[in-house]
Structure 1
Amino acid sequence: YGKQSYVVNDMAFSPDSTKIAIGQSDNIIFVYRIGEDWGDKKAICNKFVQTSAVTCLLWPADQSIVYGLVDGKVRLANTQTSKSSTIYGTESCVVSLASNDSQCYVCVCVSVSGKGILSGHADGTVVRYFFNDEGSGDSQGKLLVHPCPPYALAWAANSIMVGGCDKRVVAYGREGHVLQTFEYSRDRTEKEFTVAVTSPSGQSVVFGSFDRLRVFNWAPRRGVWDEAKPKEILNLYTITSLAWKKDGSRLCAGTLCGGVELFDCCLRRTIYKNKFEMTYVGLSQVIVRNLSSGTRVVLKSHYGYEIEEVKIMGKDRFLVAHTSDTLLLGDLLSNKLSEVAWPGSGGNEKFFFENESVCMIFNAGELSLVEYSSNEILGSVRTEFMNPHLIRKQRGVEDNKKLAYLIDIKTICIVDLAGGYNLGTINQNSKIDWLELNETGRKLLFRDKKLRLHLYDIETSVKTTLLSFCSYVQWVPGSDVVVAQNRGNLCVWYSIDSPESITMFPIKGDIVDLERVDGKTDVIVTEGVSTVTYTLDEGLIEFGTAIDDGDYDRATAFLETLEMSPETEAMWKTLSKLALEGQQLHIAERCFAALGDVSTVRFLHQTNQIADKVSHEMGGDGTEFFQVRAHVAMLDKNFKLAEMHYMEQNSIDEAIEMYQELHMWDDCIAVAEAKGHPELDSLRGNYYQWLTETGQDEKAGEVKESEADFQGAINLYLKAGLPAKAARLAISRPEINNNNDTVSRIAASLIKGETGQSCLYWFLSPDSHLFSSQKPAGDLYEKIRNNQRALECYVKGEAFRKAVELARLAFPAEVVKLEENWGDYLVQQKQMDAAINHFIEAGCSLKAIEAAIAARQWKKAVHIWSYRRIHLQGNTT
Structure 2
Amino acid sequence: QCYTNDRDLQPPQDGAAKVTCMAWSYNNAKFAVCTVDRVVLLYDEHGERRDKFSTKPADAKYGRKSYVVKGMAFSPDSTKIAIGQTDNIIYVYKIGEDWGDKKVICNKFIQTSAVTCLLWPAENIIVFGLAEGKVRLANTKTNKSSTIYGTDSFVVSLTSNVSGKGVLSGHADGTIVRYFFDDEGSGESQGKLVTHPCPPYALTWASNSIIAAGCDKKIVAYGKEGHIIQTFDYSRDPTEKEFTTAATSPGGQSVVIGSYDRLRVLNWSPRRSAWEEARPKEIAHLYTITALAWKRDGSRLCAGTLCGGVEQFDCCLRRRIYKNKFEMTYVGPSQVIVKNLSTGTRVVLKSHYGYEIDEVKILGKERYLVAHTSDTLLLGDLNSNKLSEVAWQGSGGNEKFFFDNENVCMIFNAGELTLVEYGNNEILGSVRTEFMNPHLISVRINERRQRGMEENKRLAYLIDIKTIAAVDLVGGYNIGTISHDSKIDWLELNETGHKLLFRDKKMQ
Query: What is the TM-score of this pair, normalised by structure 2?
Result: 0.84
Name the structure 2 match of 1:32: 93
Aligned counterpart in structure 2 of residue 123 of structure 1, from 158, 170, 173? 173
2-structure distance, mates of 1:249, 1:56? 25
Equivalent-residue separation in structure 2 for 1:263 and 1:393 (angstroms): 46
Whole-angstrom distance in 2 between the partners of 1:430 and 1:135: 53
Structure 2 residue matching 1:389: 3-state secondary structure: helix
Question: Where in structure 2 are the equivalents of 1:450-465 lying within 5 Å?
Answer: 450-451=506-507, 453=508
* 1:343 partnered with 2:398: no
**Residue number in structure 1 paired with 2:145:** 84
Q: Report the CA distance between 1:423 and its aligned residue.
A: 1.6
Give 1:439's aligned residue.
Answer: 495
2-structure distance, mates of 1:314, 1:302: 24
Residue 58 of structure 1 corresponds to: 119
Matched residue, 1:402: 458
Separation in structure 2 between the aligned mates of residue 371 and residue 81 of structure 1, nearest angstrom:
38
Equivalent in the alignment of 1:149: 199
- Give the partner amino acid of 2:76: P
What is the rounded CA distance, in whole Å, between the counterparts of 2:174 and 2:124 in structure 1?
26
1:430 paired residue number: 486
What is the distance in 2 between the residues matched to 1:28 and 1:446? Answer: 69
Q: Which residue among 293, 303, 306 is the counterpart of 1:253?
A: 303
Structure (1 or 2) with the greater strand fraction: 2
Deviation at 1:63, TM superposition (A): 4.7
Q: Is the 8 A contact 2:124 2:141 kept in 1?
A: no
Aligned partners of 2:313, 2:500: CA distance in 1, in Å?
A: 56
Which residue, 68, 71, 95 being the options, matches 1:7?
68
Candidates 67, 80, 91, aligned match of 2:128: 67
Tell whether the 8 Å contact from 2:67 to 2:87 is kept in structure 1 after alignment. Answer: yes
Query: Hey, which bits of structure 1, 4+ residues long, moved more than 6 A?
Result: none
More off after superposition, 45-54 vs 299-308 = 45-54
Q: Is the 8 A contact 2:75 2:123 kept in 1?
A: no
The equivalent residue for 1:837 is none
CA distance in 2, matches of 1:137, 1:111: 15
Correspondence for 2:422: 372
SS in 2 for 1:248: coil
SS state at 2:121 partner: coil
Query: Hey, what's the Cα distance between the residues in 1 that align with 2:124 and 2:205?
Result: 17
For residue 198 of structure 1, report the CA deviation from its aligned partner. Answer: 1.0
SS of the residue 1:403 aligns to: strand
Show CA shifts across 1:187-210 (max 9, x none): 221111110111111111111111
RMSD (CA atoms)? 1.6
Gaps of 5+ in 1: 96-106, 454-877
Asked if residue 184 in structure 1 is aligned to residue 245 in structure 2, the reply is no
Residue type matched to 2:246 in 1? Answer: A
1:211 alignment partner in structure 2: 261
Counterpart CA distance in 1 for 2:74 and 2:472 is: 46
1:174 to 224, 227, 236: 224
Distance 1:411 1:46 in 2: 65
Query: Match for 2:294 among 244, 258, 267?
Result: 244
SS at match of 2:316: coil
Distance in 1, Cα, partners of 2:175 & 2:116: 16
How many residues are matched?
440
Give the aligned residue type for 1:438. N
2:314 to 238, 256, 264: 264
Q: Equivalent residue for 2:474?
A: 418
CA deviation after TM superposition for structure 1 residue 438, in Å: 2.6
1:289 corresponds to which residue? 339
Residue 276 in 1 paired to residue 337 in 2?
no
Deviation, 1:92, is: 1.1
**Distance between the aligned counterparts of 1:371 and 1:190, measured in 2?**
52
Whole-angstrom distance in 1 between the partners of 2:334 and 2:88: 42
Query: Deviations along 1:243-268, whole A, 9 cap, x unmatched?
Result: 11111111111111000111111100
Amino acid at match of 1:23: G
- The structure whose Rg is larger is 1
From 276, 280, 289, the counterpart of 1:230: 280
Trace 1:475-486 onto structure 2 (pairs within 5 A): none
Query: How do 1:635-674 and structure 2 match up within 5 A?
Result: none
Question: Deviation of residue 3 (structure 1)?
Answer: 6.2
Q: Matched residue of 2:438: which SS?
A: coil
Provide the C-alpha distance between the structure 2 equivalents of 1:127 and 1:325, rounded to a whole number of angstroms: 33
Which residue is 1:314 aligned to? Answer: 364
**Separation of aligned partners in 1, 2:418 and 2:411:** 5
Task: Return the offset for 1:81.
Answer: 2.7
Q: Could you tell me which amino acid in structure 1 is paired with residue 485 of structure 2?
A: N
Name the % identity.
79
What secondary structure, in the 3-state scheme, does the structure 2 residue paired with 1:386 have?
Answer: coil
Letter in 2 for 1:91: D
Distance in 2 separating the partners of 1:283 and 1:55:
34
Cα distance in 2 between the residues matched to 1:340 and 1:432: 32
- Counterpart in the other structure of 1:390: 440
The offset of 1:393, in angstroms, is: 0.8
Measured in 1, the distance between the counterparts of 2:218 and 2:396 equals: 43
Deviation at 1:447, TM superposition (A): 2.1
Residues 693-727 of structure 1, C-alpha deviations (whole Å, 9 max, x = no match): xxxxxxxxxxxxxxxxxxxxxxxxxxxxxxxxxxx
The amino acid of 1:144's aligned partner reads: V
The residue type equivalent to 2:466 in the other structure is K
Residue in 2 that maps onto 1:46? 107
Matches within 5 A, 1:812-827: none
**Corresponding residue of 2:352:** 302
More helix by share: 1
Structure 1: how far apart are the matches of 2:121 and 2:493? 46
3-state SS of 1:440 partner: coil
Note the C-alpha offset of 1:445. 2.1
Task: Deviation per CA, 1:525-558: give whole Å up to 9, x if none.
Answer: xxxxxxxxxxxxxxxxxxxxxxxxxxxxxxxxxx
Distance 1:323 1:345 in 2: 12
What is the TM-score normalised by the length of structure 1?
0.49
Structure 2 residue runs of 5 or longer lacking an equivalent are: 1-60
